[in-house]
Homo-oligomer: A and B are copies of this chain.
Amino acid sequence: MIYSELHNILSSKTIHLKSGQYLFTQGDSVKNIYCVNKGRIKLVRDTFEGTPILIHVAYAEESIAEASLFSKKYHCSAMAGTNTEVIVYSKDELLKILQENPESMMNLLKQLTTQVRDLRMLNETKSIYSAKEKVLTYLSTEFHRDKDSDLPLKDIAQKIGMAHETFYRTLKILENNGKIKRNKSHIKLTNL
């Protein structure tokens, strides 16, 4: 998780959310920073006009609201997408520790740079129109091997911005073409 080493220093508590329950609501003042331990949390933004939009889905080991470390209010709402376990840290305490402890701040900085890079990569993957190309590009990224390896296919489909039906089909085609191999739910590029 993003605060691995800090976890021992910081006081924390664990809370359990039922699917559909809210962790916080857009506009609430930012008191806490969270880390998903199990399950998933959807970040949803209420727009003045019309339907709320999904901003992000955080899975196990992912921290959320660190983007709100410097905000007064949450700019989105967080809802459990399934029964979920979340670790809670105090924002103020975290900020204090970071200030006293440049090394851990540097560490957090590092994690954020990685996040930025991953997000950019994902962003451009999403720009690819062709399903085959998109899937191959996604599979060639690091975060597929690392973090995403145990995500349901359906969720991966959503992550890269394609209908899950299309994703299943595309995987099959690529498999038949010998471009990828699958055993159980682990997918591997053939080349390299």
Any B CB within 8 A of the CB of A7: no
Q: Would you call B106 and A108 a contact (CB within 8 A)?
A: no
Any B CB within 8 A of the CB of A9: no
Q: Would you call B102 and A66 a contact (CB within 8 A)?
A: no
Any B CB within 8 A of the CB of A158: yes
What is the oligomeric copy number?
A: 2
A30 to chain B, nearest CB (A): 11
Any B CB within 8 A of the CB of A98: yes
Any B CB within 8 A of the CB of A8: no
A116 to B56, CA, bound (A): 11
Q: Would you call B116 and A115 a contact (CB within 8 A)?
A: yes
Taking CB atoms and an 8 Å cut-off, the chain A residues in 78-137 that contact chain B are 98-99, 102, 105-106, 108-110, 112-117, 119-124, 126-128, 136-137
A127 to chain B, nearest CB (A): 4
Q: Give 1 or 0 for each of A152-192: 1 = CB within 8 Å of chain B CB.
A: 00000010010000000000000000000000000001011
- Provide the main secondary structure of the chain A interface: helix
Contacts of A136 in B (CB 8 A): 49
A138 to chain B, nearest CB (A): 11
Q: Would you call B70 and A110 a contact (CB within 8 A)?
A: yes
Any B CB within 8 A of the CB of A40: no
Q: Would you call B127 and A123 a contact (CB within 8 A)?
A: no
A100 to chain B, nearest CB (A): 9
Closest 9 CB pairs of A and B: A119-B119, A127-B161, A112-B112, A67-B117, A126-B126, A70-B110, A67-B113, A56-B120, A67-B116
New A-B pairs, 4, CB < 8 Å, besides A56-B123, A99-B106: A48-B191, A55-B121, A66-B116, A67-B113
